[in-house]
Structure 1
Amino acid sequence: MVPPILSLALPSETGRVLSIQSHTVQGYVGNKSAVFPLQLLGYDVDPINSVQFSNHTGYPTFKGQVLNGQQLCDLIEGLEANNLLYYTHLLTVCDPVMGDDGKLYVPSELVSVYREKVVPVASMLTPNQFEAEQLTGFRIGSERDGQEACNILHAAGPSKVVITSINIEGNLLLIGSHQKEKDQSPEQFKIVIPKIPAYFTGTGDLTTALLLGWSNKYPDNLDKAAELAVSSLQALLQRTMNDYRSAGHDPQSSSLEIRLIQSQDDIRNPQVKLRAEKYK
């Protein structure tokens, strides 16, 4: 008689993450960008690939398959039937990602689904500026606007909100907000991030994974978790830039595939050079 698989699946000390995102055979976006960093930080990660494509959609062409709703349900039911559906965290970027740079990547009617169904059940949200504006209906044109957008999202449910990239007057900011009690004002902070003159793929997925990993290790210090996540990301992006330049490529000529594997040490042990500044 085969022993039950459940006996082999013991909870990890750090956490078990179910990550539902896209997958590409080549390159690092979606689960390819998120699973490995979380494993480096000590998490067991089980990926469900919402799509499986040859490469990301920024290339001239791509081939592959899309997971439909029934196939997703089948996978969940299989886990549940074997008592394997015990996760400390669910990581998803509502694949496909809503949008960026003023452009929606999904049908506009999906925005209301995200706003009404997904946001209220999330414990942490990590939208970019455009996504935060879509979810709140509030234009972000200043730091104060970024703080207010966080407040609006808190009111919808999540206790932690990190708007990962806000372009304000030539500066790139991360604005984070942690509402520890519903009847209290949130603790808010910003990190000023140096701009790197290039376009990278998979950075949003990586940032979200790093924020999950570090915020779980420092549950009461979202600012410290953000410092560690941003520091890892900046080191990785700089390595990617240097790698392309050393190979004789112009980093600004096309989107760059991030050097994830080569940046393992920066993910495990980031050197914090960018500090959070708390708002009063």
Structure 2
Amino acid sequence: MKILSIQSAVAYGHVGNSAAVFPLQRIGVEVLPVYTVNFSNHTGYGAWRGPLIAPDDVREVVAGIEDRGVLGEIDVVLSGYQGGEGIADVILETVAKVKAANPTAIYACDPVMGNAKSGCFVAPAIPVLLRERVVPAADLITPNQFELGYLTGTEPDTLESTLASVDLARAGGPSTVLVTSVERPDREDGTIEMLAVDEHGAWIVQTPRLPMKANGSGDVTAALFTAHYRRTGDAAEALARTTSSVFDLLTRTHESGERELQLVESQEFYAHPRMQFDVRQVR
């Protein structure tokens, strides 16, 4: 499997492609990383150095890949955080080129906008761009529950309302939806859930909620789920594998006391997930 991943990059720590590439490689996926920024560290520190990469420069990198004649070998185009408005055009152009070369390829979009605690943390134009142009072009999306609400103009909180919001999202384009950070009022205390839905059904998985914030964990989640789902076509299995790997990554990070994901130290959890959580079909 080959994944063309258009995301940010940081030298220190693990977010964007700096979070997604290694776990994908560890499960046997060939990754073609294309960078949208090249920062010293993620912006959660409040200070960073390095450039945003101009959309035309990102476009040139993709054109160079096209020159090698390999777009037909790409199975997935994956995108995450979009730092500027112009990147969306480059992503959509790339998706069109890849699908023309390989009609079986899919586009997986992590529509990064914000979360329930922080609200939106991207430029004001980005959420509108994602909702109106990017997400409708995607085959698979991986929003958190807050982002799902924005994309669909709803306020999902219960399982039923979250499923209804997913149905609205799927009616707009993507056939498969992974919802992260699902927080139902009737869930067990100290837990958090993920929900995966495709044309075959809907599945939910619950894990303990760890008392930490982990920048980049959503990027790892989106990457692993996309790869497992593309490889197996089984949303339940992809959900189980991804949940197991990410929970163990977060547990090791929390136990380390470090702020940054212990991405390399957790590599066995990607290759050999323990499958310790039950995935329950809810529809």
Q: Could you say whether these structures have the same fold, taking a TM-score greater than 0.5 normalized by the shorter chain as the test?
A: yes
TM-score, normalization by structure 1: 0.85
What is the rounded CA distance, in whole Å, between the counterparts of 1:203 and 1:19 in structure 2?
Answer: 16
Q: 1:200 aligns with which of 210, 214, 218?
A: 214
Residue pairs, 1:141-220, within 5 angstroms: 141-169=157-185, 170=189, 171-180=191-200, 187-219=201-233
**Which residue does the alignment assign to 1:223?**
236
What is the rounded CA distance, in whole Å, between the counterparts of 1:173 and 1:80 in structure 2?
Answer: 39
TM-score, normalization by structure 2: 0.84
Unaligned 5+ segments in structure 1 are 1-14, 181-186, 245-250
Contact 1:102/1:130 (<8 A) preserved: no
Moved over 4 A (4+): none
Task: Name the SS for the 1:58 alignment partner.
Answer: helix
Matched, 1:277 2:280: yes
Contact 1:76/1:85 (<8 A) preserved: no
Q: 2:268 aligns with which of 252, 265, 268?
A: 265
Deviations 1:118-158 (A, max 9, x none): 11221111001111111111101211111111101110111
Residue pairs, 1:98-137, within 5 angstroms: 98-100=113-115, 101-137=117-153
What is the rounded CA distance, in whole Å, between the counterparts of 1:133 and 1:211 in structure 2?
Answer: 21
**Which residue does the alignment assign to 2:79?**
92
Q: Letter of the 2:50 partner, please give it.
A: G
Contact 2:16/2:81 (<8 A) preserved: no
Give the total of aligned pairs.
249
**Which residue does the alignment assign to 1:4?**
none
What is the rounded CA distance, in whole Å, between the counterparts of 1:107 and 1:236 in structure 2?
Answer: 30
Task: Name the SS for the 2:250 alignment partner.
Answer: helix
Taking only the aligned residue pairs, the percentage that are identical comes to 31
- Displacement of 1:262 in angstroms is 0.7
What is the rounded CA distance, in whole Å, between the counterparts of 2:226 and 2:46 in structure 1?
Answer: 32
RMSD: 1.4
What is the rounded CA distance, in whole Å, between the counterparts of 1:102 and 1:223 in structure 2?
Answer: 30
Deviations 1:228-248 (A, max 9, x none): 00000111111112222xxxx
- Displacement of 1:94 in angstroms is 4.2
Contact 2:8/2:81 (<8 A) preserved: no
Contact 2:11/2:40 (<8 A) preserved: yes
Matched, 1:54 2:40: yes
Q: Letter of the 1:261 partner, please give it.
A: V
**Which residue does the alignment assign to 2:94?**
none
Unaligned 5+ segments in structure 2 are 84-111
Q: Letter of the 2:246 partner, please give it.
A: L
**Which residue does the alignment assign to 2:8?**
22
- Displacement of 1:84 in angstroms is 2.9
**Which residue does the alignment assign to 1:12?**
none
